[in-house]
Amino acid sequence: MGIVSNIKHDSNFTLDPKKYESAHQHFQEFFNSLSEKEQKYFRKECVEEPRNLLLPNPPKGYPELLFSLKTNGAHYEQSMHLPVESILAKYNKKMFHDLFNENGAQLELWKIAGIQRWVQSGLRNFYPTKEIVDACKATDATSSVYGTDIKKVYPTFLLTLPNGCGWTSTDGDYCGQILVDFYNAGDECQAHFSKTDYYTLAYTERRIVITLYWDSYAIQTVCVPMDDSDKTIREVLETYTSEEHFIQSNEYQDYGDDGFDNNVGFKVSEFVMNALLIMQSYPEYVDNKETKTRGYNTKKLNRKCTVSTISIPTNLRQVVDHVPTTGESVSCDNTKRKTHMRRGHWRRQRHKDGWEIDNPKAHIIIMPDGGHAHMKWIKPVIVLSTTEKEKNNELL
């Protein structure tokens, strides 16, 4: 029988990463309680021969699935098929509830439920091109955008960035894979310990859970509320990526200190908002391809999964020459203007009924006066100085 909780989700608490040192103590306590035969089975399943979740080979220039995602994905998928009396099911439940008593269950819930939801939804993996990644990083997706402007197109997906296009922490750890879960009010965040035993948290408002997977085997999570009509996403993120709200996991102590900084969390969150806005407003940028990979507990390629790319057929960054006919661009201090990037942004663009007929897949924003609009991307632009006007082709 499942354990159901209808309490309101709240990210407003501090999780001390040092508490995860006790996870190893809980593991050892559970292991010591097993018989010799059970210990042998448990050691083989969890330590010596862990399962791996397999995805189709990534496109050229993209990394394979991180080891932590492979092993966690396989383990949490297996959990959904386990009988409740199995050793692994008992271990899953004990570890969760031991951490629950230490205020760590919310992080575990996001981690387990996020992966299981992703597996159940078809392992959708988005591969944005370097052009899209650079443009998103140069676009402000928060200052003029409200949570209600962002719609749920895909409930859960993995974002895999091209090699070298991710983020680096203060200690040099690298993150290039991000799991995104979009929950509407009434959706359930559910972590299965076995086939019939699970923990459920029912959301009373729209939330986006963003989980960063680092190459140091650590996991970092932020949960952003999306129903606040009085605050922009930037104002919300400044609260939910602050030190007391940003949830950090240092679960893998053997790999050393991870030294995360919350500035990375803000940048990744803003990047995800840009990706979500592109998915809802520019569906023509998304190319979905259904393929097959190895299914659960079999070597047969009988599992359907979706590989998606985010790209644009033309160069995303435009080159704008100077308007003055004198050939020089003069600022107030009488100096020449340097080549610079004009950051992009998003705005609500009103439209007539005909626009919705021509763009049936785009998501619509209802304005306060009842009018219809869509989110329009004002893309980042490279503005060249006069001296570099002849070098336009080199920048494309």
**Pick from 299, 275, 234, 315: which is nearest to 124 by CA?**
275
pLDDT at 156: 95
Burial of 112 (C-beta count, 10 Å sphere; 0-12/13-18/19+): buried
CB 349, CB 376: distance < 8 Å: yes
Compute the average pLDDT of residues 180-197: 92
Residues 65-87: tens digit of each pLDDT: 998 898 888 889 989 998 998 88
With the C-alpha atoms ordered 317, 126, 166, 207, is the resulting torsion angle positive or negative? positive
Q: Distance (Å, rounded) from C-alpha 112 to C-alpha 311?
A: 30
Helix ranges, the chain (H)? 21-32, 36-43, 67-79, 87-100, 105-120, 130-137, 233-240, 262-281, 353-358
Residues 25-59: tens digit of each pLDDT: 766 777 778 788 877 877 777 766 777 888 888 99
Q: Distance (Å, rounded) from C-alpha 103 to C-alpha 377?
A: 40
pTM of the entire structure? 0.79
Compute the average pLDDT of residues 178-186: 94
With the C-alpha atoms ordered 167, 347, 385, 393, is the resulting torsion angle positive or negative? positive
Whether the pLDDT of residue 341 is over 80: the answer is no
Distances in Å between the alpha carbon of 199 and those of 93, 148, 219?
9, 28, 21
**Pick from 82, 76, 143: which is nearest to 115 by CA?**
76
pLDDT at 241: 62
Q: Band the pLDDT of 180: cuts 50, 70, 90.
A: very high
Residues 266-315: tens digit of each pLDDT: 889 999 999 999 999 999 999 998 888 777 777 777 788 888 999 986 64
Residues 222-276: tens digit of each pLDDT: 888 898 878 899 888 887 765 544 544 444 333 333 344 567 878 899 999 999 9
Q: Specify the pairing of strand 247-248 against strand 286-293.
A: unpaired
Whether the pLDDT of residue 329 is over 60: the answer is no
Beta bridge partners of 84: none
Most confident stretch, 60-64, 187-191, 194-198, 310-314: 60-64
Indicate the DSSP class of residue 44: I
Angle (CA) 329 335 339, round 5°: 60
Q: Distance (Å, rounded) from C-alpha 199 to C-alpha 193?
A: 8
Indicate the DSSP class of residue 46: I
- Please give the single-letter amino acid code of residue 295: G
Q: Distance (Å, rounded) from C-alpha 21 to C-alpha 43?
A: 20
If DSSP codes are grouped into helix, strand and coil, which group holds residue 286? strand
CB 83, CB 194: distance < 8 Å: yes
